[in-house]
Amino acid sequence: MNQGRTIFAQVIGHAPHKAFQQCVKRYPGARRLRSFTCWDQFLCMVFAQLTYRESLRDIEACLGAVPDRLYHMGIRSAVSRSTLADANEKRNWRIYEAFAQVLILEAQRLYAGDSFGVELKETVYALDSTTISLCLSLFPWAHFRRTKSAIKLHTLLNLRGSIPSFLRITNARSSDVSLLDDLLLEAGAIYVMDRGYVDFARLYKFTLAQATFVVRAKKNLRFKRRYSRAVDRTTGLICDQTIVLVTARSAEGYPQPLRRVRVRDLETGKTITLLTNNFRLSAWEVAELYRCRWHVELFFKWIKQHLRIKAFYGTSDNAVRTQIWIAICSYVLVAILKKRLQSELSLYTMLQILSVSLFEKIELSQAFSCAKLAMPEESTCNQLQLFDL
């Protein structure tokens, strides 16, 4: 029987504290804090994410109601709204970005053997972005339109386990395609993107880096066909061609041949055209890879629905970035927990259990074992699940 550690402390036990302190040491201003350290701030913000707290006052009230348990949760200082607000305002958000990368690397190692629908040895990434709307009067630094502020979250999602590998927060005015300039390409990996990332000069960098891209073509693509391969039209494939670009700017940006695959969705009848620099994959695999790009859309919908990244505890740029990065840390931490405990529960179910049991002093595995592993057949629950049973 576990008599000492709360469930929250057991969850946090899967986050490497030494690695966090190394992240703190990289940035000045947070190294020698005597009270309410960066670790205390991190724990309070993770608690807020896991229990769906609405505001800083909400966090203060909940933690203040159990002062005798704060020590057992790992929080060594008293928590007040003003102290937490000041920390979010001034502590460098890059500390939590760096720690998120530590957790991401561990999660990728744990999920390296998972399948995502297409049996390939290569690492497959889906690249996309989502816009998070903000109030113009409260967030004037993120001005987007005449009556609206917004930021954009760019995400490179590893499809094995739906783990974000690369994230970048920018003003919503920045274009998606400009992110390709900051992307460190991995030789042998496959990158799946929508047509917002079509820039042939930038796509040629994938070929030079020996990486594969699969991108949806724009409707105004001009090309010359060199060769056509036979396809099985019963699978929805329409054509599989080798092409070269003919417009001067496109041909200068991408001087080598490309592969053009056209496919029709047998259910909706919608037709799309895909471009890739990979001539070894079958046309069906190219089409399936693009279909799997939908995982990143599910990821965005999931984190917006279940994490606190739409309503913010602070209004400064630093506070917003801090909250988003700690939300990502919380997501990846629970994903690590799921894999290490070999739980068959969905990530959504695990979060719901944690939200009502963080103060309990029982074994973590026991808390999850009490949950039902399957929804009743008559249930019409439409919650998004990144980790299927």
Q: Is the pLDDT of residue 31 over 70?
A: no
Examine residue 188 and state whether it is found in any structural domain, yes or no: yes
Examine residue 125 and state whether it is found in any structural domain, yes or no: yes
R_g (Cα) of the chain, nearest Å: 23
Smallest Cα–Cα separation from 52: which of 372, 334, 305?
305
Examine residue 216 and state whether it is found in any structural domain, yes or no: yes
What is the maximum span of the chain, computed from C-alpha positions, in angstroms? 74
Smallest Cα–Cα separation from 155: which of 146, 145, 166, 147?
166
Task: Please provide the average confidence, as pLDDT, over all residues in the chain.
Answer: 89
pLDDT of residue 239: 94
Examine residue 356 and state whether it is found in any structural domain, yes or no: no
**β-sheet bridge partners, residue 223:** 245
Smallest Cα–Cα separation from 105: which of 165, 28, 183, 45?
165
Examine residue 2 and state whether it is found in any structural domain, yes or no: no
Instruction: Of 26-30, 135-139, 361-365, give the lowest mean pLDDT range.
Output: 26-30
Examine residue 282 and state whether it is found in any structural domain, yes or no: yes
The model carries a pTM of 0.88
DSSP state of 309: -
| Mean pLDDT confidence for 317-331 | 95
pLDDT of residue 249: 93
pLDDT of residue 376: 44
pLDDT of residue 377: 43
CATH of residue 186's domain is 3.90.350.10
Q: How many domains does the chain have?
A: 1
Examine residue 341 and state whether it is found in any structural domain, yes or no: no
Give the whole-angstrom CA distance, residue 346 versus residue 86.
Answer: 36
Q: What DSSP string describes 103-170? A: HHHHHHHHTTT---SS--SS-EEEEEEEEEEE-TTT-GGGEEETTEEEEEEEEEEETTTTEEEEEEEE
Give the whole-angstrom CA distance, residue 137 versus residue 198.
Answer: 35
Examine residue 57 and state whether it is found in any structural domain, yes or no: no
Domain that holds residue 174: 97-297
pLDDT of residue 269: 83
